[in-house]
Amino acid sequence: MTPGNVRVRRFQLNANGRDFAVGDIHGHFGRLDVSLAAVKFSPEKDRLFSVGDLVDRGPDSADVLKWLERPWFHAICGNHDLMTWRRAMGNPIPNVDHRVHGGG
């Protein structure tokens, strides 16, 4: 099975650095960068886990692809991510207008 098909992924203890969890980024990756700098986040040893809602609302939603490529950034799909993805694929969730939930 490829990593994209794994439903549950387990991570070993990060004995060399720190782990951070963040939710509801909603396309504000610039703000996230500022916050990571404030805690002196180290990409060489720290990890960042996103618990969903990477896109919608904020000005940097397109940057999500850059963040998903970073080896220290781990994310799960939130409801806003799912709504956006389904709309982009031409298969919107029935009776759900993602624009009402912040999508653009």
d(CA 69, CA 62): 13
In the annotation, is 80 catalytic?
A: yes
Q: Which of 26, 28, 74, 80 is catalytic?
A: 80
- Find, among 55, 53, 46, the residue nearest to 73 by Cα: 46
List % helix, strand, coil for the chain (3-state, nearest 5). 35, 10, 55
Active site residues: 80
